Every structure is written in C-alpha cells, then in structure tokens.
Amino acid sequence: MKKQFDVLNSRAPRLDAPDKATGRAIYTEDLNRPGQLYGVILQSPLAHARILNIDVSRAVRLPGVKAVITARDVGLTRYGVSPARYDETLFAHDKVRYVGDEIAAVAAVDLETALEAIGLIKVDFEELPAVFDPHQAMIEGAPQLHEDYPRNICAEVHQEFGDAAAAFKECDLIHTHKFVNQRQDAAFLEPHACLAEYDLSGRLTLFTSTQVPHYVQRTVAMVTGLPVGRVRVVKPYVGGGFGPKAEATPLEMSACFLSMKTGRPVKMSYTREQVFLHSRARHRFFHEMTTGVKKDGSILVLDHQCVLDGGAYSSFGIATVYYAGSLLGGPYRLPNMKYDGWRVYTNKPACGAQRGHGGVAARACFEQQLDIIAAELGLDPIELRLKNIMAAGDVTCNELNMSSLGMHECIDAVRKGSNWDKKKGRLPKGQGIGMACGFFVSGAGYPIYRSDTYHSTVVIKVAEDGGTVTVQTGSAEIGQGSDTTMAMIAAETLGIPLGDVRVVSGDTDLSVDLGAYSSRQTLMTGQAAKEAAEEVKRQILEVLAEELGLDAARLDIRRGRIKIKGPPVDITPLRIRYLREHRGWSNQPDGEELTFREAARLAYLAKGTIVGTGKYKPPPLGGKFKGATVGTSPAYGCSAQVVEVSVDLETGQVFVEAMTDAHDCGLAINRTSVEGQMEGSLCMGLGEALFEEVKFDEQGRVVNPSLGEYHLPTALDMPKVKSIIVESNEPNGPFGAKEVGEGAIMPTIPAILNAVHDAAGVRINELPLTPERVLTALREAEAKTGQT
Amino acid sequence: MKKFSVTFTLNGQAVEILTAPNRTLLQVIREDLGLTGTKHGCGLGDCGACTVLLDGEPVNSCLILAVQAHGHEVTTIEGLADGDRLHPLQEAFVENGAIQCGFCTPGMILSAKALLDRKKRPREADIRQALSGNLCRCTGYQKIVEAVEDAAKSMRTKKEAAS
C-alpha cells in the first residue's frame, strides 16, 4: 500500500501563486536601481563577414552615452556551454558568423540614447560566402565558420552497442525511414532581461532571467576575470525558460562589463526579435533510421544517422548530438543499436537545449517507424510496444539503468483512458487515433563541466522562535514549481505544516545548485532538501530527548506536534519554560503534546541557531565508452500518450481533438503541478507538430521573429487533455519522486503523426503539419493509387 | 518632445500625468506609474501579457498610446484584489494551478474578467475564445480554462447570496 503523507502527494496551491495572480511577483525587468543606465547590443546585419574596422567615436561623443565596449575592451576569453567547445567570445572581433552576432554594446542614460548610439557605431565588413544548409556545410570547400573545425563539423558521434550488422541478418522485417523537424523557438513569454551592479567593494551582482544561476556565475567570472566569490547571480521570478535560458548570454556579460566600466547599475533586455536571434532553442534534426524486427514483433536492431543544423556556435550542441542517439536506448528492449551523428555549424543563430533535449525529433521518427512495422506485421501498435517494453531494473544497451519504470502501466492507462480498443481501426475516414511512448532523464548524471561538485546543496534554517523554517537553495524556480516542491519536501520531512516553510531560492549566495535543466531539481535538489530537513529534525529531537531524559528514538514530529512513543511523559515543565520565554505573545501552544515550535525553541536555547545542510550528487553512472555520460541519470520518467485528430481531406488542415496522457513521475510530490507539466509539454509538442518553424530568407535573416508570425498554440488550438498520473516508487528519488517536465513531451509529436496517418492514410516525414504539406501528401497518395 | 497632460482613472483613482505623445500606455503604467504587474512580452500586440482593461474591454497596452487613455477608465491587475482579499478569478487561478511562470497571468486574468463581466455562464468555447489573444507557454491552457469556469461559478454564487 502507498505510504500516507501529510503534505506530499497533495494538490497544495503553489507558494508563488498569490503574488503572481496579483501582479506583485517581481521579474528582472521589474527591477530598477537609482542611477541605472540602459544597455543595448549592436548585432551583425550580415550572416558571414570579416570585420575590417569598428569606429565607435561618434557613439562615444553622443551626450548621454556612458560607455561603449567592443572586443578591444572586454578581451577575447572564449566561453560556451561545454568546456570542450568554448567557441564564443563576447564580441566578434575577426568576423561575424550569423545575423545577430554581437559586435559592441553601449550604456547610456536612457534606452533611446543607447539605441541612437548603437546606430552611430560604424562597422566596415567584407562580406564572406555563407552556408545555411548543414548538408552543404559538410561538403569539402564549403564556407568554413570556425578555423578549427573543417567541414564545419562541430561534433560527431559514432557508437555501436551489440552487433548491428549481425543482428540485421536475423531480422524478418527491416524498415528505413527519414524524418526532419524544424528549428523551434522556445517562445517563453518573458524576454531575457538582466541588471548588473558593480559595487565599490569590487563585487558584482547580476540579477538575471536565467534557469542556471550557478553556470552564469561561473561563466561571468571566467569572462570578466573576477573571482567566482565576487560574482553573485540572483534570479528573480522567471517568465519561462524551457532550455534556452540554461546558459550565460551576451546580454548578461555585456551588462556586467558595462557596469564595471561605468560604476553604475546597467539594465538590459532583449526585444522579442532578439530572443529569436539569440535562439539556443531546438535544433533541426535530419534523421534516418533503419529498424529490424522478428516476425513476432521483437525489435532486434536500430541503425540510426542524424545530422543537426547547429547554427554558428556550439551552445549545448555536443550534448544534443549525443542525446539524439542515446535517448532511443529505451523504453523498448533494443539489444543492438548503432548511431552516427553530426552536429554542423551553419551561418544561423546557435541552437541549444529545449524541452526534451535532443530526443524529441528522434522519438518522433522512431515511434512512427514502430507503427509502420506494426502495420506490416498486422499487429496493433500497442501490442507491438507491449511486446518490447522495458520494466524496472532493465538496463538499456547503452547502459542506462531503469531503476523504476511504469511504462507498461502508462500504456495500460492511456489505452483505457482513451478507449483505444473501441476506436483503433474503427474511426471514419478523416478521423484518426495514434499513440506513442517516451522517457527522459531525471537530471543529467554529470555536471556540464567536469567536476566532483555536488549537484545541489540546501541549507535549512529554523527561526529562533521555532515558528518557521527557511529553505535556502540556489535552485531555480522558473515557473515549473520547484520552490513549492522543496517546501513540501522540507515540511513532510520535518513533520510540520507547509505554511510554516518559507523558500528563498535562485541566488548563488544561498547554496550550490546546478539549476533548472534536464528535469533535475525535483530529484536532486529534492534529495538535498530532504537531507537538510532530516538534519534539522535530528538536532531538534536530540535536544528534546536530553531535556526529557528519553531516548531520541522515542520521539517524532508530525503535523507540527511532538509524538512520544511509549509511556506518557510530563511535558509541563518544558511548556512552562517556553511560555516564560515568550510571555505576552499571542497564539501560544496548548494541548497535551509539545509543539514543533516549543521543541525548536528549546533546541535554539541549547545550541544557537539551528541549521541543517543537505547535499546531493549522483553516484558514478553509465558505461565506459565515449559519450557514455550523456543520457545517464539516477532515474527516468516515462510516458505514453494517445491522440485523436481529424484531418480535413479537402484542405489538409489537422485538428487535434483529444489527448490522453499518462506519465510515471514516481511519487507525485504535487499532483496539480505534475499535471501542469504534462499539459504544458503536450501543448509545446502540439505546437511543434502543427505550427512552429523559425524561417530564414536566403541571406540568413529570421523572417518571422515575432510571436504573431511564429505561430504558438493558443487556447483555441488545445483540446482538453486527460492527464493520468502513474506513480512508481523510484529508489533514487526523494520519497520515490522523479521527473515530469520533459519526458511528457516525448510521445506527443509521434502520437499526432500516427493519428494523422490513421485518419488520412499518409505519412508526413517533415514537420510542421501545415495544410500544404498534408494536402501534398494526400495528392501524392491519390496519384499513386491512380497509377496502380 | 512636447509633453501632454493626460487624465484618466486608474484602478478607481484619478491620475494626471505629463507624457510625450509617443509613449505607450504600457510604458506609462510600468515606468512612470510603477505598476509592474502589467507585463511586457513582445511590444507588438502578439502575446497579450500587457493586457489591461480600457473601459472594461481588454486591450494590448503596448499598442495604445498613453494619450489615448485620456478620459477613460483603465484597470490593471493591481486593481483587482480588494485589499488582501483576492478577486474570485485570482483565487481560482491560485487554487486550480493555473499559474506556472506567471508572466501571462495578469493579462490572462484581465481578459477573463472582461468575459465574466459580460457573460455569467460562459461555455468552454467562450472562455477559449476570450483567452485566445493571451499566449501561455507553460500550462497548455487547461487549468486556466478550468480556473475561469470555477471563478464564474463562485461569482454567480456570491451574487446570488448577495441578492
């Protein structure tokens, strides 16, 4: 039977919701400082050009301008996400590599003056031939972006698990399939913003809209040359991240340099167009997969090639190209897997990580292939999947350990929840039903830079009156609800009501935490929070045991009250002592049991301020092969989805009519928040499947850099979602919890594609499913039928 | 640039400001009047994060010049709660988990308020229609729609109790 909790597994309202509902929540753009300056960045108008000269003299002379900086002022320290590919400098010095590449920055007394000054900077360019297509970029003699990377290959992966060639000989059916998505934009509602303040003691404070205060602190320190200890990064509320805010930006570093140079606070933000130009969002993936199965449907082998259109810099790209292969290792038993991947530089904004990092397009390709194979074998798509499904304890061929895996339960849940058996194969033409599965990491097994660092530390401090406890963490609440999660874990562990826990987070001064990416905080920060709370509880109960002359093992705390096992104990002397401490105050403790407040006060009197610390890092994970770390995690969440669509066979328009989603998140810490992550993931997947595409003209300029022209799903595009929470017990997670934020997007696109095939009889191998693309496929299919 | 005197009602209070004619209502609300609950998401009228009510109708405050508010009534998210008592819509958004990052929330709540002020029993389709100019990237809209349904219900109950 499932354990009963006092706080966890509930639908507690989020701690930050009242402030957000009333407009009181402060985001970076809402901050202002006396005497602050406004910064603006000059970006390249050309996709590829040599910089011959930069003349800032007119900008410097403009009244109101306080500083103009270029590469000459800030140096050429290389940075990036992965130390193996530090290929960016803050400002371009020899050449620009995409439309939007940063050249200079200005700080002025107001935004208008700063913008005017940017217009006065004169840059002489010598235009170079540019390359926008990754396949062309890989050809010998193509324009080369980075000297050190011939054929523009930023990273390549060649892995083989088992023996693919031998396995193909054993197969009864082999299917090959190509698939391509489009470059996506994360389209968080809050554009990046920051405010840098360099003070007289030589300390730099950066308020910024980021997912990763820790990595920003490290990168800013490296690029400015300040010691890490003198850089403090503070994250106010963040209006969504989804991946692209998981790295340090030129905006942040420009603001820091400008503040250091002027001695004044500098505020900067990207316009919506600049958000598109900075990008760092989902790559475009060109997949080719060949899957071999036995007649009975057992999958024997996958041979997979993938080319990623990377844009001008690496960003997260090395991890992305590895993830695109490694995340196919499950959730089906796949004994042989060969993967060859290439991430290629092109003269476009750099792509990075976005929800479901690297695995989303791969999953979309593979899950369609499973449906095609099922049809050829005459199997129901669900039966084929169940035949191959992994279970808890299974290890993938690339050595990912499924320590818990409710995959089978998820499939059962959506099968029932969607009424699959009544609908599959029985819907009229133009209506269809499709399904798919997926899984994702609960936190990357290793930090982005090689280090033995803890992935998370948490400090819990008890107020001197014992009334409240404060959880201090560097983790990042970016909208996903992590503050509430940590408060709930601390409250449950300590045995006190949620209302008595306060969370302070998102500040590098508070603790070390790698931040909000790879769906890591529930498990990793959660483990550290749990350990810190246990430590606080132990200290308090030890003091109490001594005061009462009892064995501490007889004591526990539940719902804010002290529980004493065994024969009755007279608590009156302790209560009187507490009341004397606090005489004249209202709301005094009463009842037959001592309260947490009384016990915590006694502990304070005995030991001073009660502080508990917790820490977490995963054990060594994964195999020994090259790239074995990417895809490792202490736990994996998984999900299955069923989607119903209707396709207008005259116009090619696709409507998603219903979605049923089951996700195994281990123990659901907060049921409402879990559903929120599921529903949000499905919406983002639906957008990528049906609408979203960042488009370029022939000169490498983004032609739709606005939320109007880059079509996001609206309330009218989303159907009602049936969300089913499946709870396995994850041995490596706090109270059995694991991820939900990214795994939930994995099945969405292929489930839609499979449903469209069911409705219209056509396979669409390129996203998004525009009416034009669907109609073309329908006409081609008709023509083919006509011929035969 | 020459400045103009503009008078309007903001959250029930008369305000008089001097502003250049090219400043948007959003800039004046956020920067001059210091009410930062109204959010700036795109500046082009695409996202709806800057939605305020102008004489009860939702508008993108980034597309309206401050001078156009002259003589009108403007409501921002700060004007909804009655002291510490949240508006039923705010309460329902909190209770239903309709808020994640919160950046779309003020605009979303104001668009919903305009709907509920004219329609006491909105159908789900009415709600989705009324919110279709407010983008949300976090929630998938489901819990937002449910929150508006709940708020409509509690507003009807309150009204009946009052009459």
Handedness of CA A25, A26, A29, A33 (dihedral sign): positive
pLDDT digits (tens, 9 = 90+) for A501-547: 999 999 999 999 999 999 999 999 999 999 999 999 999 999 999 99
pLDDT band with cut points at 50, 70 and 90 for residue A418 = very high
pLDDT, residue A22, reads: 98
**Does B141 contact A481 at a Cβ distance shorter than 8 Å?**
no
Query: Residues of CATH 1.10.150.120 domain(s) within chain B?
Result: 88-162
The yes-or-no verdict on residue A1 having pLDDT over 60 is: no
DSSP B143: H
Rg (CA), chain A: 28
pLDDT band with cut points at 50, 70 and 90 for residue A285 = very high
**Does A20 contact B102 at a Cβ distance shorter than 8 Å?**
yes
pLDDT, residue B163, reads: 72
Provide the shortest C-alpha distance from residue B143 to chain A (in Å): 7
Percentage above 90 pLDDT, chain A? 97
B:23-62 residues touching chain A, CB 8 A cutoff: 30, 35-47, 49
pLDDT digits (tens, 9 = 90+) for B56-91: 999 999 999 999 999 999 999 999 999 889 999 999
Please name the residue of chain A whose CA is at the shortest distance from the CA of residue B48.
Answer: A189
pLDDT, residue B162, reads: 79
User: To 5 degrees, how large is the angle CA A378–CA A382–CA A385?
Assistant: 95
Could you tell me the residue ranges of all domains in chain A? 17-23+454-616, 31-128+189-240+245-278, 284-446+623-787
Report the topology of domain A17-23+454-616.
Aldehyde Oxidoreductase; domain 4 (3.30.365)
The reply to whether CATH 3.90.1150.10 applies to domain B4-79 is no
Using a CB-CB cut-off of 8 Å, the residues of chain B touching A720 are 142
pLDDT band with cut points at 50, 70 and 90 for residue A89 = very high
Segment among A167-176, A578-587, A727-736, B48-57 with least mean pLDDT: A578-587
The residues, any chain, with a CB within 8 Å of residue A689's CB and separated by 6 or more, are A748, A749, A752, A753, A767, A768, A769
Do A17-23+454-616 and A284-446+623-787 come out as alike in CATH topology? Answer: yes
**Does A27 contact B135 at a Cβ distance shorter than 8 Å?**
no
**Does A16 contact B38 at a Cβ distance shorter than 8 Å?**
no
pLDDT, residue A583, reads: 61
Q: Residue A749 CA to chain centroid, in angstroms?
A: 18
- Token pair, residue B14, equals 């008369």
Rg (CA), chain B: 16
The yes-or-no verdict on residue A585 having pLDDT over 70 is: no
Q: Residue A678 CA to chain centroid, in angstroms?
A: 13
- Token pair, residue A567, equals 């024969």
User: What is the mean pLDDT of the segment spanning A223-245?
Assistant: 98
Coil, strand or helix: which one is A123?
Answer: strand
DSSP letters, A288-331, are EEEEEE-TT--EEEEEEEEEEEEESS-TTHHHHHHHHHHTTS-S
pLDDT, residue A465, reads: 86
Query: Residues of CATH 3.10.20.30 domain(s) within chain B?
Result: 4-79
Please name the residue of chain B whose CA is at the shortest distance from the CA of residue A211.
Answer: B101
Is there a cis peptide before residue A331, judged by omega within 30 degrees of 0? yes
Query: Mean of the per-residue pLDDT values for chain A?
Result: 97
- At residue A659, what are phi and psi to the nearest 5 degrees? -135, 135
Using a CB-CB cut-off of 8 Å, the residues of chain A touching B145 are 715
**Least CB–CB distance from B46: residue in A238, A673, A708:** A708
Which CATH class for the A284-446+623-787 domain?
alpha beta
pLDDT band with cut points at 50, 70 and 90 for residue A195 = very high
pLDDT, residue B160, reads: 82
Is there a cis peptide before residue A213, judged by omega within 30 degrees of 0? no
pLDDT digits (tens, 9 = 90+) for A755-764: 999 999 999 9
- For an interface test with B, the pick among A189, A192, A704, A706 (most B C-beta atoms closer than 10 Å) comes out as A189
Query: Which bin fits B21, alpha (ψ -120 to 50), beta or left (φ > 0)?
Result: alpha
B:114-133 residues touching chain A, CB 8 A cutoff: 127-129, 131-133
The reply to whether CATH 3.30.70.260 applies to domain A31-128+189-240+245-278 is no
Please name the residue of chain A whose CA is at the shortest distance from the CA of residue B82.
Answer: A22
Residue A211 near residue A181 (C-beta atoms within 8 A): no
In angstroms, the CA A241 to CA A557 distance is: 38
pLDDT band with cut points at 50, 70 and 90 for residue A497 = very high
The arrangement of secondary structure in B88-162, i.e. its CATH architecture, is Orthogonal Bundle (1.10)
Residue type present at position A217: Q
Coil, strand or helix: which one is A204?
Answer: strand
**Least CB–CB distance from B103: residue in A240, A480, A708:** A240
Residue A283 near residue A320 (C-beta atoms within 8 A): yes
pLDDT digits (tens, 9 = 90+) for A34-63: 999 999 999 999 999 999 999 999 999 999
Question: A332, A325, A418: which is closest to A638 by C-alpha?
Answer: A332
Tokens 């608590």 locate to: A571
In angstroms, the CA A285 to CA A528 distance is: 36
Residue B104 touches partner A, C-beta closer than 8 Å: yes
Burial A310-349 (b: 16+ CB within 10 A, else e): bbbbbbbbbbbbbbbbbbbbbbbbbbbbbbbbbbbbbbbb
The yes-or-no verdict on residue A783 having pLDDT over 70 is: yes
Model ipTM? 0.98
Residues in chain A, total: 788
In angstroms, the CA A294 to CA B5 distance is: 80
**Does A242 contact B35 at a Cβ distance shorter than 8 Å?**
no
- At residue A510, what are phi and psi to the nearest 5 degrees? -85, -45
Coil, strand or helix: which one is A107?
Answer: strand
Segment among A3-7, A571-575, B111-115 with least mean pLDDT: A3-7
Residue B94 touches partner A, C-beta closer than 8 Å: yes
Please name the residue of chain B whose CA is at the shortest distance from the CA of residue A17.
Answer: B94
Burial of A296 (0-12, 13-18, 19+ CB in 10 A): exposed
User: To 5 degrees, how large is the angle CA A757–CA A761–CA A766?
Assistant: 55
